[in-house]
Structure formats: C-alpha cells, structure tokens
Structure 1
C-alpha cells in the first residue's frame, strides 16, 4: 500500500473518530456527574439522524436551511434527553448500577419502537451537506470536504467543552459534582437543575453527532446499538468522566481501525493476516490492552473509596436453604419431569431450551448476585462450551466425554479472562468482560476452517440412546438439576460467604484475612464452567 493511500485512510479515520468523540463526550459528561451509565445514549444519536432528516425536508437543503436543521435536531434531542432524566433517571440515581442499566435499556426499546412507528423500517438517506459537497486533494488523493469539516468539528467541540467546564460557574459545579456530588449537594447547590442540564448537554452532543453523520450514513434503526458499544469503549478507554480522555481514545481507535483497513492482507512467512477483518474487534482489543495496563483508562483515576451500592447496608440475612426448600426443589423437578406425559415434541424442545438457559442465568447470577461481579460478556463461556463440545464430537469423542470438554474449555477461558477482569470493578470490569467476549465472537465468526464461521458447526447430535426428544429432555433435566443444586450449595459454603463479604465491603473482607481477588477469580472460573456446561447441552439439543 502506498504512503499516500495510507495517509488518506488515516485522515478518513480521523473523520470517523471526530463523530465518535461527540457521542462519547456526552456519555462521559453524563457519567461523570450522575454516575449513570446511559445505555440509551446510542438511541439519542439515532434520533439526531432521524430528526435531522425530517428537519432538512422542512427547512430545505440550502446552506442556511441545512445547518439550521442540524442545529434544530441537536436541540430537540437535548430536550428529549432532559425529559428522560426528569421522568425516569431522576428516580434511580441511588439504585444499583445494574438496575440503572436495565432501566436505560428499556428506554432503548421504547425509542426504537417509537422511531419505527414514526419513520418506518426503511433506511433514510439524507442529502449531502450544503456548502461541503466538493473534495480537496491531499498527496494526490481525494478527500471529501465534509470529512475535513468533521475533522475540525471534533477539536472545536473539545475546546468549547473545556471553556465551558473551566471558565464558567456551571462548569465549576459540574467539576465539583464529578469529584464529590454529595459535598456539592451539602453546599446548597440545586442538584436537580445541575443533573438535568448535564443530561441536556450530553444528549445534545449525541443528537449533533447523529445529525452530522447523516451525509455519511443513512438513518436506520440499527444506529443506536452499533454506536453505543463503540461509545462505551471510547469512554472507558479514555477514563470515565474524562472528556480529554474520550478525545484521545476516539482518535486512537479511529486510527487503529483505519490502519487495519489500509494494510489489507499481509503475509508473514506462510501466515496470511487479513487486517480488515480485525476492524470487527479492533476497539475491543485496544480496550482490553489499555485496561490491562491502566485499569481506570488513559486519563481516568481510581475512586477515592471502594464502590458501594445503597442496597449493601440493607441486605437480608443470608440463610442456607432448609429442608422445606429442598423438598420444594425436588417437587418442582418431579413436576417438570412429567412434562412428556402432557406435552408434544415442540413443548419438549422448548422446555429443554428453558432448562439450558436457566442454568446459564444461574451461572451469571452466581457471579453477579453472590459475587457482585458485573459481566457483559458471560455469553462467551456459553459459546466456548458449545464449540468445545461440537469440536470434540467432530474429532470422534463420544457425547458423554464431550460434555466434559464443554465446561473444561469454558473454565480455562474464564480463568484466563478472569485473571485480568478481577483487577477491575464496576463498569470497567463489565466493559472488559465485553471486550473479551467480542474477541471470542470475532475469532469464532471468522475462523471458518475450525468453527465454520457464520454457518457454525452442524450435525452434532446426541447418541442413539438419547436420540428421542423425551430422552434428551430427561437427560438435560437431570444434568441441569444437579448443576443448579451445586450452584446453590456453593453459594452457602464458606467460599460463598467469603464471596459475599468481598462484594459487600472489600476493605472489611481483606481486613478479615479473605483474599478477595483470588475468591472472585475462582467465582469467575466456576461461573464460566457452569455457563460452558449449558452451552454444551445446547449444542447437542440443536444438532
């Protein structure tokens, strides 16, 4: 690849990084003050594109009409963000992080359905930006004028935010709330007004990014989820609450992806590396590397005290299940075992899936509920177990032995990933688990010769003695019942209580002699193994 071609590819990467920075800056600003990880931020970005499309149709595509439409879209999305804060988020500021994420994900679904109802399912292609329809020449290559504009907008917004946060009273209050919002409230600052204004500005930036992206990408219903993962990555890599960090991270990720595209296929000896394929996971690789070296991001800082949640001080006394609970569980298993007598084959297939996902959910609950370890990437161990079982059968291993390979492979993966993850906490931990899961998915999706790529592996059926739907259902019920009992037993062993102690108060647990990190690492591995077992059972149920 020529130097000029690589240069223009890097410049294109800067244009994409600038738009990504606008989204991440709003997300980082909101988190810095409110400590809410707003999963609906990508939906605000999507709304910016759709509203800009409609506004351009009303104001016209002339130079003043076009840019007035972009400004109107940003302001409208800012108002929507403020409304979401007033109606929903204001009531959950003191709720656990997981509940906040679930609530904002609910907003994602509402906005997606509303967008579908208002604009329909078709992609909407906006006009080219008025006043920037030409191109400029760089090193013999052509760069659209609009991309050059985007490259300039990013630093301009960064400087504007720096002035707003450093030179105004509002910015002083925002910085104070970022450091210690309890103290700001104690000093008589109107916290309600401050939080709403921060949400307005953060949503406005997301809407502006969506509106500015319209000439480069059609408005579509997949925009929200496609951008939110990248925005989370940028925010975490830069350091939660750090806007300069978000800018640096956006540049870093944009340039890495541009280089991957520009390099194409590179042959090193007998090995051919297809760098463009790495763009599927490039940002997650960058995040994994950065968090492994700097656990709080490039410009982030460790919290002054270990994170706590309001429910920590009010947890009910944990008691081991008694005889009544055991009898109830056995009765439930017996009732489920009678399903073949009243259901057809479809009911058995559906019930088998329910059992498999019950085990998967229980494994996640063990890590999340008992251990307090938030994970966005737990499905990676489910997938590792499924592929391990399928590959074992492909190599002539009997199903009974293959079901041992499933949790074993997931256990190894969880041990490797968990070693890095347990060094972190909160959203940093959750995002690192997502990074590892995306890396696993990318390898499985593109390693056609081993995993079958997007087609997967087929023909993985149980042996003849489990060939019937009823037989496999009863087998799955027995295995999963045993696994669920094992998880419940683990939760009430000294190991389980040590895990809870580290969850509720890390400092007190360590002062009591508990190795919190080692305990959490073991929980990570065990939860991964149970998820892998669920994945193995699922592979055989689907063939």
Structure 2
C-alpha cells in the first residue's frame, strides 16, 4: 500500500511539470498584458497535435523526437505571436473583459481548425525512442519518460528565472508587470514586448502539449480542460508569479496523485471514493486558498485588495423612445407564434432565446451594475434546472410547482457561495466563482442515485396544457419579461444605487455607512434566483438535463452574451443573448465547422464594436441609446460623484 502510494506521488511530479509549463506561460502573458487568455489551452492542444504530425514522420530517432518536440513548440509560439499582432493588438484599449471574449472566439476557431486538419478521432503519437521502457521503483514499474518530465519542469523553471532576472528582456517584463504606463513613458516599444511575451508564453504551452504526446492522445477537448487547470494553478500560486505557479502545480498534482493512491477511505462507516475527487481537486484547493489567502501562495497582497475604480457611465431609466421600442418588440414576440405554420421551428428557437435572455440579464445584474465578474454563473442555472427536476421526480410535485420551486436550490447555493465570493474582487472573485461552479458540477456528475450522474435526468415534460411548443413559448415569454422587468426595476431602487456606488468606489461607499459586502451578497442571491428560473425553464423545454448545464462552456456563453451586447448598457444582455443564440443556431445548421464561423463572427463584432453592440449604437445616437430622456433632476442625480450618490443612497436606505 505504501509503495503504491509513493509510486503515484512520483507519477504526480510528471503531471506537475506539464501543468507548470502551461501555467507559467499563462502567468507570464497575464502579468505583462493583463489579458485573461482563454486561447492558451488551444496553444497546448495545438502543441500535442503538431508534435504528433512531426514526430510521426521524423520522431523515430532520439534526435528526431526531441527536435520534433521543439519544432512543435516553435510553431505554436509563432501562432501565439501572430494572434497578438493580428487580433489582440487591435483591442488593447477595449475593456479587459472584451479580451476574454476575443480569446474565447479564438478557442472556437482553433478547435474547428484542429478538426479540419486532424479529424475528430483521438490520435496517439509515437513513444520517445530509448524512453519507452520503465524502471523498477519499490517493486512497481515507473515509466522512464515520466522521470524525464520530472527533470524538465525544474530545468524550465531555472531557465525562466535566469531570463527574468539576468537579462534585459526579463527586466522589461518585470517592469511591464509593475507599471506598463511608466515603461511606455520611458520610450520602450510595448507592442514588440507584448509580442515577445506572447511568443514565449505560447512556446511554453506548446512545449507542454508536445511533451504529452507519448503519454496521452491528442483530442479536441484538451483546450478547455487545460485552460481551466492552468487558471487554477496561476491563481493558487499568485497572479504573475512563476515560482508560485511551480509550487501550485506541485501541490495540485500531488493531491490528485494522493487521492488515486489511497483510492477509498471509510469515514463513520461510509465508503468514500477519493479517486473521484480528482475531478474537482484543483478547484477545491483553489477555493480554500482564495478564501484563506486571496492573493495566492506567492502573490502580492496588494493584488487582491479592493481599490477605487473610475466611475462607470451612469445608467438611466428608459425614456419614451426606448419604451416604445420595447413595446413594439414585445408585441412582435406576442404575435410571433402566428408564423409558426410557415416556420414550425420558430417557437422552439424563441424559447431558447428567451431563456438565454433571462440567463444573461441575471449575469449582467452582478457584472455591470454590481462590478462582480463571474466565471461560474452556470452553477445557478444548473441548480435551478436540477432543482425543478428533483421537485418533479423525487417529491412528485406538479410541473408548475416544480418550475417555481426549482430556483430555490440556486438561491441556496448562492447564499453559501456568495458569502465567500463577495470578499474578493477582480480576477480572484471570478476564479472563485469558477471553483464553486466546478464543485457543483462534480457533485452532480458523481451523485448517480439522485442526479443520474453523467446520464442526467429524463422525462421532464411540461403539464398537458403546456405540451404544445406555442403554449410553452408563452409561459417562457411571461417569465422572461417579468424577470427582466424586475431586475431592471431593482437597478433603480436603493439596492441598485448602492450596488453601483460600491462598484465605483468601495472606500467611499463604506465611509458613509454602506455595508458593501451585504449589498453585493444580496445582489448575488437575487441574480441566482432569476438564473435558476432560467434553468428551470430550460429543463422543461428540453425534457432532459445533464451535467452539461453546469459546464464551464455554459458560463462562458453567458459572458459572451453580456459582453457582446454591452456590459454598461441595460439592454445589452438582451441583445447579446438574442444575437449569440441566433448566430449559434443559424451557423450550426449550415456547416460542420459552425464553431469556427461563430468564432469569426464574434471576433469581428469585438473588433468592430469594442463597447458591445448596444454600446456602439448608443454612441452613434448621441450617447442616448437606452439611457432615455431624463428630467433635469434625474440627470443631475446620475451625474453626481460616487460619494454624492452614496450619500443619497444612505438616506434612501
């Protein structure tokens, strides 16, 4: 037992080396450019695919294999530099979250590019010559190649340390990490520095992927799987800290290896499978670290401290023009089923759009006015869906009751998770929401007796009077309209003004007596209620649910909808959700490579409309858009400084 455990721990060191290579590149890119690069996992995926192609032809000798690995990493590095020059250099001045949107679009493009180049099947590369065997370690075989990987990790760490501390390039990188504006004032060409950093970061990701060729197959799911793990390592180690990334990679890999080595443990007579814990181990570690030490193990405390941001453009109640436009849109939606004869699929598509609108609007509620960026909003969507399903299947409640009670499970999750999340800000808050979402996903995925595990729950059909697509469409329309209207009304209540005051200046809001954490916690719970309602509607619209409803990709879809429409606009999430869902459905029916076309569409929209679709329209309508025609008193109130608005809020509260 002990020897088997030690062997697993040694194997974990090999996994830690690969994880460190990917995370080091991501940490380097974020530290200098401040870009949350979702495409970094795609660089890793391309590394293993390109290595497969080159090594399959030239990697049958020792020199050929290692040259193939380096060549694959260089190809990916060039790809990373091209991405920075062609795409990201155009949007550096856009809000930071739009960088996330652009890099997510690149993920879609790169995935279909890999599908076109290498096909959908898993590909197994050749083993490393002279390293295909194993050595005896405590009576167990230990792959020779794993020992090589264990050595490569520390060697790369030393090379990075030397480059960052003993070269001029490293000095510039560290200076850019501390103060990019000052570096530019000194006459340093930041554009080429950023390109160089992307080249090195992509090289490390490609190298990590290329080295995995003899250990695992190349497949199309590696991009999102890898980026999730890399983000965890970077955050646990401390944003921008290369040694921190190495320590975090060791801790996470060894915890996973420990769980595999132990296998099962009995606590109070209950047999627990620790091997299943490996699905979520890194996210549990991240959640614990962020709660105890928000800036990471070797990060700087100042990085996690709430600061004073520049006030956002004030939101204003809708004017007559916007109200008339909303009335026309609502009338069109009410009359839309009349065209169901000519377009039978229309009610189904409109239901998907309305559910997406409610999902995106609830996310916008905490992201825009609340200033709380969430990477795990799908957790509450999934909890609402599973809540409705369990009320229907387990408690045998009517469909109507299950639909209304399902969101309560999402509220319960938000009460617990939100209490921890509102104590953080920025990227750290976003990553903690991701951690909690992955924990929820793991529980749902593994609790076969209750949730159905990976198979999900079936037979979630509406009542007879809602069995037709048109009837269910009208139910969804009523729920979506009421949900969006209530969320919008709350933004102009004392709670809404307190949320915006807390977003614009935490220090000023706290100074005049606003309990910022309580306000943000309340906003978190309210958003989860309406997100859970969207999940309940989704469950009955599909008739079945699976752990996919809580996946990272669904959370990212919500972010894309909000950012596509415009973060600092009220109608942005509505427009963004409608456009994204329509594009996704339309493009998917045209070609097998619909993800690439969708990614290109999103990328073009990001470059053309860096403030979002509604933000762009608002700017070209004299900055009026969905702000409306306010009275002088209303304009004066919205033009007030954060401290003045906070004082008014305190009086209202």
Q: Please give the TM-score of this superposition, normalised by the length of structure 2.
A: 0.79
1:469-527 Cα deviation digits (max 9, x unpaired): 33322222222211111011112222212212222333333334333222211111111
Distance 1:461 1:67 in 2: 56
Aligned to 2:546: none
Tell me if the contact between 1:42 and 1:224 (Cα under 8 Å) persists in the aligned partners: yes
1:196, distance to aligned residue in structure 2 (A): 1.6
Where structure 1 has 5 or more consecutive residues not aligned to the other structure, the ranges are none
Distance 1:73 1:460 in 2: 48
Who is 1:55 aligned against? 54
Aligned to 1:273: 272
| Displacement of 1:434 | 0.9
Distance 2:479 2:68 in 1: 59
| CA-CA distance at 1:58 after TM superposition | 4.3
Which secondary structure state, in structure 1, belongs to the residue aligned with residue 458 of structure 2?
Answer: coil
Aligned ranges for residues 172-211 of structure 1 at < 5 Å? 172-211=171-210
Matched, 1:325 2:322: yes
* Maintained 8 Å contact 2:283/2:436: yes
The correspondence of residues 311-322 of structure 1 with structure 2, limited to 5 A, is 312=310, 315-322=312-319
Taking the aligned partners of 2:504 and 2:10, their CA distance within structure 1 comes to 48
- How far did residue 375 of structure 1 move? 0.9
Partner of 1:30: 29
The root-mean-square deviation of aligned C-alpha atoms, in Å, is 1.9
- Residue 338 of structure 1 aligns to a residue whose secondary structure is helix
Deviation, 1:3, is 0.5
CA distance in 1, matches of 2:377, 2:457: 21
Matched, 1:539 2:539: yes
Task: Please state how far the C-alpha of 1:537 moved relative to its aligned partner.
Answer: 1.8
Q: 1:93 to 1:346 in 2, by over 3 A?
A: closer
1:462 aligned partner: 462
Change (3 A) 1:463 1:157: same
Report the CA distance shift for 1:200/1:469 in structure 2 as closer, same or farther (over 3 A). closer
For 1:526, the equivalent position in structure 2 comes to 526
Q: State the 1:342 CA deviation.
A: 2.0
Report the alpha carbon displacement of residue 306 of structure 1 after superposing the two structures with TM.
4.5
Check the 8 A contact 2:59/2:126 in 1, yes or no: no
Give distance in 1, aligned partners of 2:396 and 2:46.
52
For 2:445 and 2:531, locate their aligned partners in 1 and report how far apart those are by CA, in whole Å.
20
Aligned to 1:213: 212
Matched, 1:445 2:434: no
Contact 1:307 1:426 in 2 (8 A): no
Instruction: For 1:75-114, list aligned pairs within 5 A.
Output: 75-114=74-113
Residue 416 of structure 1 corresponds to 416
Contact residue 307 and residue 506 of structure 2 kept, 8 A: no
- In 2 relative to 1, CA 114–476 (structure 1 residues): closer, same or farther, beyond 3 Å? closer
SS of the residue aligned with 1:500?
A: helix
CA distance in 2: counterparts of 1:49 and 1:475, whole angstroms: 48
Q: Match of 2:142, SS?
A: strand
Q: Which moved more, 1:322-331 or 1:62-71?
A: 322-331
**Superposition pairs for residues 114-263 of structure 1, below 5 Å?**
114-263=113-262
Which of the residues 330, 335, 338 maps onto 1:338? 335
- Gap runs ≥5 in structure 2: 544-653
- Of residues 235-244 and 347-356 in structure 1, the stretch that sits farther from structure 2 once superposed is 347-356
Q: Which aligned pairs between 1:262-301 and structure 2 lie closer than 5 A?
A: 262-301=261-300
Q: Residues 368-419 of structure 1, C-alpha deviation per residue, up to 9 Å, x if partnerless?
A: 1221211111111011111111211221323333233222221121121111
Relative to structure 2, which stretch is displaced further, 409-418 or 179-188? 179-188
Moved over 6 A (4+): none
Determine if contact 2:260/2:275 at 8 Å carries over to the other structure: yes
Measured against aligned partners, the alpha-carbon deviations of 1:183-232 in whole angstroms (never above 9, x if no partner) come to 22222222222222111111111111111110101222222122111111
- Give the count of matched residue pairs: 539
3-state secondary structure, aligned to 1:416:
helix
State the Cα distance separating 1:308 from its structure 2 match: 7.2
CA contact (8 A) 2:460 2:540 kept: yes
Worse overlay, 282-291 or 76-85: 76-85
SS across alignment from 2:348: helix
Superposed displacement of residue 41, structure 1: 0.8
Quote how far apart the aligned CAs of 1:294 are.
Answer: 0.7
* SS of structure 2 residue aligned to 1:137: strand
Aligned-partner Cα distance in 1 for 2:5–2:93:
48
CA shift digits 1:350-375 (9 cap, x unpaired): 32222222111111111112212111
Q: Would the aligned equivalents of 2:27 and 2:242 in 1 still touch at CA under 8 Å?
A: yes
Question: What's the secondary structure of 1:370's corresponding residue?
Answer: coil
Residues 15-50 of structure 1, C-alpha deviations (whole Å, 9 max, x = no match): 111111000001111111111111111111112112
The answer on whether the counterparts of 1:22 and 1:206 sit within 8 Å (CA) in structure 2 is yes
Partner residue of 2:615? none
CA apart distance, 1:160? 1.2
